[in-house]
Amino acid sequence: MSDPAVEKEAGPAAGGEIAQQEPRKREYKDFGHEEEKPTHAKVDMAQIELKAEDLYDKEKVDLETIEIEDVFTLLQCKDTGLDSEEAQRRLGLFGPNKLEAEEQNPFLQFLSFMWNPLSWVMEAAALVAIALSNGGGRAPDWPDFVGIVLLLLVNSAIGFYEERNAGNAVKALMDSLAPKARVRRDDKWQEIDSADLVPGDMIAFKIGDVVPADCRLTEAINVSIDQAALTGESLPQSKKTGDQCFSGSTCKQGEAEGVVISTGPNTFFGRAASLVGQDDDTTGHLQKILAQIGSFCLIAIGLFVLLEIVILYPAFHYSYRRGLDNILVLLIGGIPIAMPTVLSVTLAVGAQQLAKHKAIVTRITAIEELAGVTILCSDKTGTLTTNKLTIDKNLVKTYGPFSADDVMLLAAYASRTENQDAIDTCVVGSLADPKKAREGITLLDFKPFNPVDKRTEITYREESTGRLKRVTKGMTGIIVDLCSRNKTEEVENRLEADVEEFASRGLRALAVAYEELDHDDPEGEGNGFELIGLLAIFDPPRDDTKQTIDDAIALGVKVKMVTGDQLAIAKETGRRLGLGDHMYPAKVLKDGPTPGGKHLTLDEMIMDADGFAGVFPEHKYEIVKRLQGLGHLCAMTGDGANDAPALSRANVGIAVEGATDAARGAADIVLTEPGLSTIVHAIKGSRIIFQRMRNYSIYACAVTIRIVVCFAILAFAYKFDFPPFMVLIIALLNDGTIMTLSVDRVLPSNTPDSWDLAEIFAFAVAYGLFLTLSTVALVIIILETNFFEDKFGVHLSGHDYLGGFRKDHNDRELHMIVYLQVAIISQALIFVTRSHGFFFMERPSVALMAAFCIAQLISSIIAAYADWGFTEIRGISGGWIGIVWVWNIIWFLPLDLIKFAMKATIIKYLRERKQRQIKEVVSSDVPLTRTTSRAASIHESLYSNRVGFLRRAARKVGFGNNAPRMSQNELKRLGSIQAAHSGSVLARNPSRPH
């Protein structure tokens, strides 16, 4: 590497005869924003009473871009500010400059977890046990009532606890607003709460301040605004007079004055908060699945309850209380009331496991949805990239006698080492040792960057030679104009090509020039600048991002980049990550695909794209919403407030490490480690958890079928009256064992998981009917034969021989035998549902095996010793217990064969039918959507924890907040139409004459 301290022979000075020819003016197409020139409102400003349709037509009025004079006219204000009286009047018109968050009453929130059809049936059963069963000379059924109520309370308590721990996105957004603002009122500057700002106010802010409201600048001195958290742009943006600044952005340099054009929910920041709150009433994906599983169980139970009512009372002449006890058996035993609790525990344990991988779950049901995610929409700045500008050392261009390392060192000389801006930080940070930026030189004069000169400059003394030298760096066009040495046609052609190459790849070019001084005056002229190099600045991808994307694709998850940065930057980042560069600007979301292009619809274009650039909150939200409409479960990652709406809308919102409070509040999963690698762990972990939940769902539905069908058949065939309390004991022991599924050993799938309920119900019916047959066969042999008495010497102590061979069908010991048989084989079923092959080929967790053994021990002890007076049971001998165990083992072994038979026939048919339906949809060019029937939609709404009627009731009794919400039409606008609403309100409410 050459040493910049050594004398370099500069190139020839430009001049001579060539100077007589007028050189062409070169335009270096450096990368940057396209400037929008201010326009006039396309209406007669003299007629201030504008129509609503005019104000909401961005082509006529847009307070972000129209001439600043038109802004003052439209908002009926002056640059001297408002008076206190007018400000107070406008505060009444527009409301405070803050976001309203609806507070939910905790008690009503707790009650909402008891508001779904499964809970309704159990609540009805509790009422039946305590109120309707008080007849026939018998007391109310207190044991059943207490057991049912305990089950309901435990389920609600777990759900309530999990939801109360979730973050509040709107509150996080509100808290990040600037609390104070400097405003000009009554022709004098004063400090007020930012909540009191109104459209038309004159405000001022300086370096370090948070912009308190959307405004248009009337005066700007070296202003640079960091709005990365709002728009996703990597670099702070220079602002000049007439430009707009967003509320919530931070002033990084300079000071400014401006006129407020929108406040509160009408600001760019407020629209993000309003979008976050849009989906409060949507039903979660897991609630929809629970709704359909619950509906399946309810239909089965309802059918057999109806049959019992029709048969037991008219045909068998049952007494009121006797028939009611039989109905309670079906209600208590058939309803999988613990399903929400078991799934909540499974998800909660899964959340703890994900926390070990530095992923904090704020909405527990998001784990289940993450397992089925098919598309991951990722923000770029701070998520795929580091959000720290870097010099690409492989792309440094040199034009003089200096090497690439020399150019970078000299550029570092021309940078601040303290109070650095983003550019100076990345230039100095590119050195192996940042201290070299000041080693070997004595600083004599430094000119920092400003928006006018657009460059920095250092004059220093080289300690090794004592010579004075000067280095400048900045925008290419500015630096080239300063150069007078080595400025040949060849160098300018090379420079122009290099700058265009950088711009096409989304890289920002930084030119560096150098000159020497032949005297000791640091403010004197040098021997002329010569161009020595061009640096490429970009926001580099995180080290692990490429591997993370590859891993996600291997798991069947497609990754799309959705960024607020420019299209060229997005494409370059996509190329570096192997994500692809097939990306579109955000305007296609409004304009649609190009006529005659390869995409016929916008949905087709969104599916085909690798990403979108230049997007705003509404765009991200719309992309996620459309992908969901195409039948995909969508995950969205992000780190800024601009990501909050899409994070909230997505099935799974993921806030990366270092995210703003707004993003963390809107997200379902918050990462505490840099990068996206944690997401791969989370996806794999969520698929393990999904398998556990699927195994339980098959088990729960099968047990519903076996209880309902079994005891209904026994009642019809033998007038068998099984005690309701013993069904409750079976349910409690089963659910206690099944809780250990939350730590069971299962393998994750390599493709996104989905709830194929037809398969679940098919398996459940097959298993349930087989287990029913096992119980009915046992009862038939006991009642119709003396097989067990003759072979094993056992007998029913209370049986009564009527006509020589008839036994009491409701013998207390027979009740206990049936209890033990049902309890053992029902729990053993879980070993079949949890395995894909033979049950003994997939080892269960120690916890599950231990819980099963303990539960069976308890069941066997109850069978041997229980002689409870309040229920119709009596302990049985060891011989009967042994018979039941052997009987269950004989009937358990064929369960695997039933599973394989089902897979080879019915399940195979269901999967082939599903594939045919998908192919038919694809071939017909009709987008694949997840549709539901009207009945299904009603059921899903009933399972939502956020119950509409409870909210309305809360408002009527004074709970909650009645603040008006923004309309859907306004939220969908791509521009700042809400800002123009200020003028509309003032037009309808003109100022009073003074």
Q: Which residues are catalytic?
A: 379
Token pair listed for 657 = 């490490």
Q: How far apart (Å, rounded) are the C-alpha atoms in residues 867 and 855?
A: 19
CB atoms within 10 A of CB 741: 28
- Beta strand 441-447 with 359-361: parallel, antiparallel or unpaired? unpaired
User: Quick check: helix, strand or coil at residue 840?
Assistant: helix
Q: How far apart (Å, rounded) are the C-alpha atoms in residues 875 and 868?
A: 9
| Position 374, amino acid | T
Q: How far apart (Å, rounded) are the C-alpha atoms in residues 867 and 408?
A: 89
Q: Is 805 exposed, middle or buried (0-12, 13-18, 19+ CB in 10 A)?
A: exposed
- Residue closest to 407 by CA, chosen among 520, 217, 501, 536: 536
Q: What is the secondary structure of 728-743 as a DSSP string?
A: HHHHHHHHHHHGGGGG
- Beta strand 188-193 with 237-239: parallel, antiparallel or unpaired? unpaired
Q: How far apart (Å, rounded) are the C-alpha atoms in residues 642 and 226?
A: 13
- Beta strand 483-485 with 529-538: parallel, antiparallel or unpaired? parallel
The backbone region for 951, taken as left when phi is positive above 0, alpha when psi lies in -120 to 50, beta otherwise, is: alpha
| Position 578, amino acid | G
Asked if residue 946 lies in contact with residue 112, where contact means CB atoms within 8 angstroms, the answer is yes
Asked if residue 244 lies in contact with residue 33, where contact means CB atoms within 8 angstroms, the answer is no
Q: For residues 708, 710, 712 and 716, what is the CA-based torsion angle, rounded to 10 degrees?
A: 170
The strand pairing partners of 561, in sequence order, are: 378, 611
CB atoms within 10 A of CB 436: 15
**Can you give 947-979 as a three-state secondary structure string?**
CHHHHHHHHHCCCCCCCCCCCHHHHCCCCCHHH
User: Quick check: helix, strand or coil at residue 717?
Assistant: helix
Asked if residue 604 lies in contact with residue 592, where contact means CB atoms within 8 angstroms, the answer is no
- Residue closest to 690 by CA, chosen among 516, 852, 834, 571: 834
- Residue closest to 814 by CA, chosen among 709, 722, 711: 722
